[in-house]
């Protein structure tokens, strides 16, 4: 998967593992991902969650014929984080022909829940 010159590169997101059943990625909490009060920005968490869900969904399709794009995402920001690394772990809740739904939990180094997200992806024919 291309990461150079993408949001992944800008936010420092690193893919640890990816399969159609589980995706794991990390992201630093630093000047790229903090909001003005010094905490992890909710938008950065959402970007990490959608990245994980999208990568998982594309593992289940024929990329010669189909693409996956975000259709809807929600996130509950449970706990603040000022620095360090967060890890996102995504698992599929639904894998259909036209949509996929993934749950993504973002945790800190001690496995405290920072954010939980659910992302629906549309599976579209490749143009």
The per-residue pLDDT for range 36-76, each reduced to its tens digit, is 999 999 999 999 999 999 999 999 999 999 999 999 999 99
Residue 109 sits at the vertex; the CA angle it makes with 105 and 21, to the nearest 5 degrees, is: 35
Instruction: Please answer whether residues 27 and 85 qualify as being in contact, where contact means their C-beta atoms are separated by less than 8 angstroms.
Output: yes
The per-residue pLDDT for range 87-118, each reduced to its tens digit, is 999 999 999 999 999 999 999 999 999 999 99
Q: Is the pLDDT of residue 1 over 70?
A: no
Q: Could you confirm whether 66 is annotated as catalytic?
A: no
In a domain, 75, yes or no: yes
Range of the domain at 89: 7-125
Catalytic residue among 50, 66, 110, 111, which? 50
The reported pTM is 0.96
* CATH, residue 61: 3.10.129.10
Q: Tally the domains of the chain.
A: 1
In a domain, 2, yes or no: no
């Amino acid at each position: 998967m291309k990461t150079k010159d993408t949001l992944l590169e800008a936010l420092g997101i690193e893919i640890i593992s990816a399969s159609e059943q589980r995706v794991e990625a990390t992201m630093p909490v630093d000047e790229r991902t903090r909001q003005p009060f010094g905490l992890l920005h909710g938008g950065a968490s959402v970007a990490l969650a959608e990245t994980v869900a999208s990568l998982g969904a594309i593992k289940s399709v024929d990329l010669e014929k189909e693409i996956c794009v975000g259709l809807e995402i929600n996130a509950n920001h449970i706990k603040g984080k000022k620095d360090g690394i967060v890890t996102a772990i995504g698992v599929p809740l639904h894998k259909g022909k036209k949509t996929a739904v993934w749950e993504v939990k973002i945790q800190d180094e001690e496995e405290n829940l920072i954010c939980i997200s659910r992302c629906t992806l549309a599976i579209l024919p490749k143009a």
